Every structure is written in C-alpha cells, then in structure tokens.
Structure 1
C-alpha cells in the first residue's frame, strides 16, 4: 500500500485536511473491479457525462444515489433460479452480476439526469458554482460589511 506524506501541504494550503480525505477516497477507489466499463466525458466547460456499459440491465435493476459528494451506481438484479437452471450456455460473455461503482464528485457538482438507452447508462452532471463562491474584485478602501 502506498502512503503519501501530505504534511508539506499543511504549511501552504489552508483546509488541506479535506484534500487528505479525497486522496484516501481515491486510493480506495483504485481497488474497485473494472466491471462495468465506463467513460467520463467533458461535454462543456462545467458539464460532464458518465457512460456505463450495462447490457442486460433494466432501469428497475439500477440504483443511483448521491451522498456526501459521492455518486454511487449499483445494481440489484435478481436472477430467477428456475430461469437460470433452464438456460444452458455454450459461451457466456455477457456478465449479469451485480456491481457497485463509486465516483467522487467535486464541490458544487450536481447530477442533472440519468438515462438508459441501448445498454448504456448516461449520467449527466454539471458544476454549478454559487455566486458567493465566484471570484470578485475587492476595491482598496471599500467595506465589505455594512455593520462595521
């Protein structure tokens, strides 16, 4: 297991303790399996799309949840035991196993839509920065608060 010493960051970045938790989450994400395959696209400056290949799954088999800046996509497909016994494969290359895939979202990234079409799940995201967080120019000699 790799360990990363983040102590130099603490000297020059305020709030870098949050960075340490992101690095930890990223290292845990590396341990995930490669199933199902996915793409992450940049559609515009602040718009993204995650596309997952989930052939054989219906929209009822998929759960999409966002909690604490983590997008979790998982399946809960149940295979009918009777159907599984009747089917005999000469070659089985299409996986029907359940999965869980986690994506760490940046601050202010929101999930807009999720669509399932032709075996591909598309999840569209957008970063929406609130006005209070956008850069603003401060004039020298100006007062930011009226109550001073």
Structure 2
C-alpha cells in the first residue's frame, strides 16, 4: 500500500489541519470496507448537494439521521422479524451505520424517504463575515491627510 506524504502541503497551507487529519485517518478505508447500503452523492449548483441511499426493505421509522458538528450519520435497524419463512432472501435487512464527513458550513436542510430511497439535502452556507471581501490599500498620502484633518 502506498503512503500519502502530506509534508509538502503542510509547508504552503494554513488552517487545513482537519482536512489533513481526515486524509491520514481515512486513507486505509479507501480501498476496502463495507459498501452497504449503496449511495450516491450529487451536486446541484455551487452549494447544493444531495445524498441518496438505497434502503430497500426499510421503513422511515427504522432509519435515523444525526447531524453533529461536521459529521452526518445515517443508521438503520429493522424491526423484529415476523414469522416469515423465506425460500430465498437477498434483500438485506441487516443493521447499518453510514458516516459522512461534512465540510465547514455544510448544513443538513432536510430528508425524504420515497420508494426505498432516502434523500438527504445539504447546503453550504458561508457566513457573510467569511466571504471574500476587497481590502482597500492606503498610501502615505492618505495617512498624512488623516493627520492634517485631526490637527485642524
């Protein structure tokens, strides 16, 4: 397995500590792991996203969604099985837990469950104070004019 060297990035970036920690912690999970339930992540425009999970056989009351800090967790557990006698069963009814890491300012706006698909809507809402702004550059003349106004 190849090791990811983040040292060059540390030298030229500021404030990306959380991202680097995620890369180092999750690098082993990228190659293998549980792939249940299957899901899609779609992007609609600049700041709108949707996660769709295929949850055939689950009811909405058997699924929970938790958003806390920068993590979204979807968990499912089937209610007690009835007295079914299956001849063949391929629809999974096992419990699951799927975790998604969310970027800063990404908020869960809602969820819907229709035809076995759970859809979770996400929006990135950057506060005004964090958006780019133009900074005025003053010159020596501007500074002197300010002093002259105060002296008068």
TM class by smaller structure: 0.7 to 0.9
Where in structure 1 are there 5+ consecutive unaligned residues?
Answer: 143-148
- TM-score, length of structure 1 as denominator length: 0.84
Q: Which residue of 2 aligns with 1:119?
A: 116
1:95 aligns with 2:80: no
User: Which structure has the greater CA radius of gyration?
Assistant: 2
> 2: CA distance between counterparts of 1:103 and 1:29?
13
> 1: CA distance between counterparts of 2:26 and 2:115?
30
Q: Which residue of 1 aligns with 2:146?
A: none
Deviations 1:42-93 (A, max 9, x none): 122210111111011111111111123111101122323xx2xx32222211
Where do 1:20-39 residues align within 5 Å?
Answer: 20-27=20-27, 29-30=29-30, 31-39=32-40
1:96 Cα deviation after fit: 0.5
1:120 Cα deviation after fit: 0.4
Q: Which residue of 2 aligns with 1:76?
A: 77
Whether the aligned pair in 2 keeps the contact of 1:73 and 1:100 (CA below 8 Å) is yes
3-state DSSP of counterpart to 2:138: coil
1:4 aligns with 2:4: yes
3-state DSSP of counterpart to 1:132: helix
1:35 Cα deviation after fit: 0.7
How many pairs were matched up?
Answer: 138
Where in structure 2 are there 5+ consecutive unaligned residues?
Answer: 140-152
- The root-mean-square deviation of aligned C-alpha atoms, in Å, is 1.8
- TM-score, length of structure 2 as denominator length: 0.82
Cα 1:39–1:104 change in 2 (3 A) is same
1:15 aligns with 2:15: yes
